[in-house]
Structure 1
Amino acid sequence: MKQENGTSVDRRGSATEGASDSPSTVRNRRTFLGLAGVGIAGSLLAGSVPSSAAAASEYDDQYGTVINVVEAGADNTGSEPIDDLLVELRGDDTLLVFPPGRYLMTEQFRYTGFENFGLVGEDATIVPGTVEAVDDNVVTEGTFGGAARLFRLGVIYSPGRDLRFEGFDFDFTAENSGLRAVEAYVSDGMQVRDIDVLGQHDTGTFGPALFCVTDDDGIGTVEGFRAPDGGAFSENTVGDIDVGPTGMLVSASHSGKLWVRDCELGEFPDNGLYVSGADGRVVVEGGVYRNSNVANIRLAGDYSYVRNATVVVDDRREGHNQRGIRLDAGEHLWVYNTDVRLPEPNGNAITVLNAVDSARIQETTVTIGDRANHGVVINPYAGAVDVLDTDIEIDGGGHALQIRGRNAADDERVLVRRATIDGDASGASGRNAIRCERANCEFDDLIVDQPGPDYRRAIEIHGENCEVTGGTYVSTHHPIIDVAGAEVSDVTARSYDGFEALKLLDSSDDATIVDNELYGGYLDKGATDLSMSENSFPEW
């Protein structure tokens, strides 16, 4: 896809992807420091950086060379570009420190194959040149030129190792602003922190971030990356990327472990956080993800999870699908202690796709406004899924829990335990709060309260070999509908409008109804081999 186009073009339009980025192409760092003056060089190498770089002083002993870029000649007023100087200063075992100010960049800074390289800002703002025309993610007109990126640190065939990139603002507030702020391919030791993208990404080019840990045992961290103003659809920009930018892309080549901590992404046209491959692991801790198209968080990779995050859709874009969380592929995926709020729903809250071998949704809160979208959706060929201690409030006419399946003997089990479902959803679009079309499902100790109009029901079971054990089911219409012959035990069920608590259809074979409190009794439409025992039938 265009987000991972590997071609880089210089300002004259010639290909530069294969150009050498080794330190031998620039002056030796220690030679440069000597030219800068013995006093400055001596203090830097001793680990006593100038006061303007005090924020980076804690890292001095991690680098053989520490350079204050302003002392080295960089303009921090935003008047003169710093591109050539950065190429001159880069090197292994080197930290570039950016004192407060504004730094103009008019072309991509590209450095690959490095060892222990860092860029640290202290109230430092990166300002891109102007973008007036774009062709296939290459800026062809404007004071910025070439590939639509600012910092490209490593590539898939020549990743860096031990990268530090932190403390920068990227000023995209001008009209037709927005490039990829940072793209990093690192074998191990990636640390990206405290990055703020200011303004909307409205050029129709690469989204603001791409990250990849290339080694299976490698680890990277992205913490405090914030792009709350999102991006514009390409049809409204000078660019031509498909649909529009992704907020944060994890490359399909990612194979290590990436921590994504306390980040904020808002309203991107092509996913907020998008994990595009399933070979690595991504852990999303905390953060806010809001109003992006396709999905706000799109997760894949064995043992990947989302924990303590907030996902919000409160700005609905008509004609688009703004899911909360989409689990794409892998085993042991997990959504834990996460708040998914859809006051203006335009897609499902959490979707488990067919390529997911196993997943768990636990201690999570889902709220859905007044529109016919669903809460948790499990696709027919997905593997085993647990939904535990999760609360769903649904005011629209969709299903709080939709379990799709083939109703086959080898359907993987879905276990729903200690969940609570409430809200004022009507039955106009979806009759049931829970709709189960899969065999071998278990519903244990649920509380379902559905007082909405239009024959709203609590649970309808179409899958064979399903069990409903314990809990309370209350709804306007029949709270429990058994289509395929379920086992229902130790349940309390009641209709607000005086319907029977349980309805059995003529396709309900071998149903077992034991030790329940069924207000108003049950309605049998021709079930065969029905087993009823130890039930009570209180009046409404």
Structure 2
Amino acid sequence: MSRRGFLGAVGLGALGSVPTGTAGAATLDDQYRTVVDVRDEGADASGGESVSALLADLVDDETLLRFPPGRYYMDAQVRASGITNVGLVGDDATLVPADYDDFEGPTYRLFRLGTHYDPGRDICVADFDVDQRGTGTGIRAFHLSAADSLRLENVDIVGRHDSGTWGPVLVRVTDPGGSGVVSGVRMPDGADWETETPGDLWRGPTGILVNDHRGHLTVRDCVVNNFPDNGLYVQGEGTVSVRGGRFANSGPVNVRIGAREAAVEGATVVVDDRAPNYRAQIPMRFDYAEAVDVEGVDLALATPNGDALQLRGGVERATIRQSDVSIGAVPASGIVARRGSGPLSVVDVNIDIESSGNAIRALGDGGSLVVQGGHVGGGATGETLRHAVRCERDGSEFRQLTVDQWGGGRRRGLALLGDDAVVYDCRIQSSDWPVHARGTNVWVEDNYLNSYSGTGSIRIGPSADTVRVKNNELPDGIEDDGGSAVLVTGTTY
């Protein structure tokens, strides 16, 4: 069985590490024509002498390199383009990069297997620590380009990246029909800003970089913290799935994706440390995609430095469901759909917002906004942005949504600024108007709308036309500022 066949048989997305026990080793070894114990070939496992030149000679097609327990010092890149069925597997093995002055630049990488123009195939790297605790260290440990069958698994980057060179990982799948997995890659110690390092990489390194990507990639259970130039950054024409993992305090974006299709499930993104040089530390941003699906994520912004989730104009369709967003008392918004982005569905999403921002904001010139279920709560005021939900889009619907915004400062509930809007079976309470309608053909039915200040349960603006208010409970009445064709039936005050 080929390496590709083996991965297909066990499942390319398997969570477990590449087996290294006796039975497991035999199974893995059988996938390669040649199996090499690098220490048997003369590699110094004490960390005293560089193994770079030796490894460059050993890496070959149909070859598995096994690294027994020890420390392997490297001071130059190991490169192999167009390579097929190659494996690097550690067993309590640590790779130790030289510091900035001693590493052979400008190719600051440990391993470059394949390139975007001459990719490899069937690449497997697993079970390594990379020790960059030394002063002036930090390296792109693995730069992997495969047409198909790429696997990077169980890698710990130990120590803060303070050399000012490329970030720890770059991967890509170049064949539209190819696939790959990055699983259990952990880099919790982050990196320094470029001005604080001997290197000159603009801004500083990215944690996990995926560019020129055309196949499918799964990023599973990774940990990426505090990188100056994005935590996880995906760019290309392929698809990507982010499953689980924790991403924290990177800037300008923790999880930034541009892809044909993007899915994020079960990930946690945290911003609780506002780095002084970072202009923004947005938890999640989608630059473009035919479809974006986000489910079961937890976006926790104790000290916000940017919106929680942004959909840029290149996103054609997006769904966000069964997720939690919490935003501290620094002005920032929750879910933001920029101009030009397509239809957005927000289903059973709970947003707790203490800052004067919009929990949900859908700017105009885009597709509809549908909000089904979920809750917006917290002590946000209306000092900066007044509405909990601001919708400038036509054809939007709000069903079974609960809003409770009691923080004062003219905080309002739902702004309907587009045409053809429906508000049905919602419970909205806010310091000021729970609903403000300014568009044409607005239907408000079976809702409870309460203003804590008594200013009015619903305000109908002078530009509103054809507004139907049916079977609602409006303790604070209707404030009609000159809307046209307003019909109220079955409503109690």
TM-score range for the pair, normalised by the shorter chain length = over 0.9
What SS does the aligned partner of 2:466 have?
A: coil
Which residue, out of 417, 424, 427, partners 2:372?
Answer: 417
Q: Give the partner amino acid of 2:122.
A: D
Task: Kindly indicate whether residue 492 of structure 2 is the aligned counterpart of residue 532 of structure 1.
Answer: no
Aligned to 2:258: 300
Looking at structure 2, the residues matched to 447 and 58 of structure 1 have their Cα atoms a distance apart, in angstroms, of: 55
Query: What is the 5 A alignment of 1:31-110?
Result: 56-110=25-79
Aligned to 1:475: 430
Q: Give the partner amino acid of 2:470.
A: V
Looking at structure 2, the residues matched to 143 and 332 of structure 1 have their Cα atoms a distance apart, in angstroms, of: 42
Structure 1 range deviating more: 302-311 or 215-224: 302-311
Looking at structure 2, the residues matched to 119 and 113 of structure 1 have their Cα atoms a distance apart, in angstroms, of: 16
Partner deviation per Cα, 1:32-66 (whole Å, 9 max, x = no partner): xxxxxxxxxxxxxxxxxxx9988744411111211
Cα contact 1:444–1:471 (8 A) shared by 2: yes
Aligned to 1:436: 391
Partner deviation per Cα, 1:284-311 (whole Å, 9 max, x = no partner): 0000000010111011223321001100
1:232: how far off?
1.2
Q: Taking structure 1 as reference, are residues 57 and 76 closer, same or farther at Cα in structure 2, changes over 3 Å only?
A: farther
1:114: how far off?
1.2
Q: Taking structure 1 as reference, are residues 307 and 55 closer, same or farther at Cα in structure 2, changes over 3 Å only?
A: same
Task: Kindly indicate whether residue 448 of structure 2 is the aligned counterpart of residue 492 of structure 1.
Answer: yes
Looking at structure 1, the residues matched to 286 and 45 of structure 2 have their Cα atoms a distance apart, in angstroms, of: 44
Q: Taking structure 1 as reference, are residues 167 and 53 closer, same or farther at Cα in structure 2, changes over 3 Å only?
A: farther
Which residue, out of 200, 215, 236, partners 2:196?
Answer: 236
Looking at structure 2, the residues matched to 245 and 518 of structure 1 have their Cα atoms a distance apart, in angstroms, of: 54
Aligned to 2:381: 426
Looking at structure 1, the residues matched to 200 and 371 of structure 2 have their Cα atoms a distance apart, in angstroms, of: 44
Cα contact 1:53–1:99 (8 A) shared by 2: no
Cα contact 1:503–1:525 (8 A) shared by 2: yes
Runs of 4+ in 1 over 3 A off after TM superposition: 51-58, 143-146
Aligned to 2:248: 290
1:157: how far off?
1.6
Query: What is the 5 A alignment of 1:213-228?
Result: 213-228=173-188
What SS does the aligned partner of 2:213 have?
A: coil
Looking at structure 1, the residues matched to 165 and 486 of structure 2 have their Cα atoms a distance apart, in angstroms, of: 62
1:202: how far off?
1.3
What SS does the aligned partner of 2:284 have?
A: strand
What SS does the aligned partner of 1:335 have?
A: strand
Cα contact 1:301–1:333 (8 A) shared by 2: no
What SS does the aligned partner of 2:465 have?
A: coil
Which residue, out of 414, 419, 424, partners 1:464?
Answer: 419
Aligned CA RMSD, in angstroms, stands at: 1.4
Aligned to 1:181: 141
Aligned to 2:159: 199
Q: Give the partner amino acid of 2:194.
A: S
Q: Taking structure 1 as reference, are residues 143 and 155 closer, same or farther at Cα in structure 2, changes over 3 Å only?
A: closer
Looking at structure 2, the residues matched to 281 and 373 of structure 1 have their Cα atoms a distance apart, in angstroms, of: 29
Partner deviation per Cα, 1:172-230 (whole Å, 9 max, x = no partner): 11111111010000011111100111111111111111111010100101101111111
Percent identity between matched residues is 39
Looking at structure 1, the residues matched to 186 and 275 of structure 2 have their Cα atoms a distance apart, in angstroms, of: 22
- Where structure 2 has 5 or more consecutive residues not aligned to the other structure, the ranges are 1-19
Cα contact 1:130–1:144 (8 A) shared by 2: no
Aligned to 1:7: none
Partner deviation per Cα, 1:513-538 (whole Å, 9 max, x = no partner): 1111111211111111111111111x
Cα contact 2:99–2:163 (8 A) shared by 1: no
Q: Give the partner amino acid of 2:285.
A: R
What SS does the aligned partner of 2:175 have?
A: coil
Query: What is the 5 A alignment of 1:249-398?
Result: 249-251=209-211, 253-277=212-236, 279-318=237-276, 320-398=279-357
Looking at structure 2, the residues matched to 218 and 152 of structure 1 have their Cα atoms a distance apart, in angstroms, of: 19
Q: Give the partner amino acid of 1:173.
A: R
Partner deviation per Cα, 1:391-428 (whole Å, 9 max, x = no partner): 1010111110011013xxxx421111112110111111
Looking at structure 2, the residues matched to 59 and 457 of structure 1 have their Cα atoms a distance apart, in angstroms, of: 61
What SS does the aligned partner of 1:511 have?
A: strand
Looking at structure 1, the residues matched to 271 and 287 of structure 2 have their Cα atoms a distance apart, in angstroms, of: 20
Which residue, out of 114, 121, 130, partners 2:99?
Answer: 130
Q: Which has the higher strand share?
A: 2
Q: Taking structure 1 as reference, are residues 459 and 423 closer, same or farther at Cα in structure 2, changes over 3 Å only?
A: same
Partner deviation per Cα, 1:81-101 (whole Å, 9 max, x = no partner): 111211221221110000011
Looking at structure 1, the residues matched to 65 and 154 of structure 2 have their Cα atoms a distance apart, in angstroms, of: 16
Query: Over alpha carbons, which structure has the higher Rg?
Result: 1
Q: Give the partner amino acid of 1:281.
A: T
Q: Give the partner amino acid of 1:309.
A: A
Looking at structure 1, the residues matched to 308 and 141 of structure 2 have their Cα atoms a distance apart, in angstroms, of: 29
Partner deviation per Cα, 1:361-411 (whole Å, 9 max, x = no partner): 0111100000110000001110111111111010111110011013xxxx4
What SS does the aligned partner of 1:346 have?
A: coil
Cα contact 1:108–1:146 (8 A) shared by 2: no
- Where structure 1 has 5 or more consecutive residues not aligned to the other structure, the ranges are 1-50, 133-141
Q: Give the partner amino acid of 2:305.
A: N
Looking at structure 1, the residues matched to 239 and 67 of structure 2 have their Cα atoms a distance apart, in angstroms, of: 32
1:103: how far off?
0.2
What SS does the aligned partner of 1:276 have?
A: strand
Looking at structure 1, the residues matched to 103 and 187 of structure 2 have their Cα atoms a distance apart, in angstroms, of: 24
Q: Give the partner amino acid of 2:68.
A: P
Q: Give the partner amino acid of 1:275.
A: V
Aligned to 1:29: none
Q: Give the partner amino acid of 1:247.
A: G
Looking at structure 1, the residues matched to 161 and 437 of structure 2 have their Cα atoms a distance apart, in angstroms, of: 51
Q: Give the partner amino acid of 1:493.
A: L
Q: Give the partner amino acid of 1:421.
A: V
1:445: how far off?
1.1
Looking at structure 2, the residues matched to 173 and 55 of structure 1 have their Cα atoms a distance apart, in angstroms, of: 32
Looking at structure 1, the residues matched to 105 and 486 of structure 2 have their Cα atoms a distance apart, in angstroms, of: 75
Aligned to 2:465: 509
TM-score (norm 2): 0.93
Cα contact 1:448–1:458 (8 A) shared by 2: yes
Looking at structure 1, the residues matched to 466 and 26 of structure 2 have their Cα atoms a distance apart, in angstroms, of: 73
Aligned to 1:405: 364
What SS does the aligned partner of 1:397 have?
A: coil
1:236: how far off?
1.3
Aligned to 1:15: none
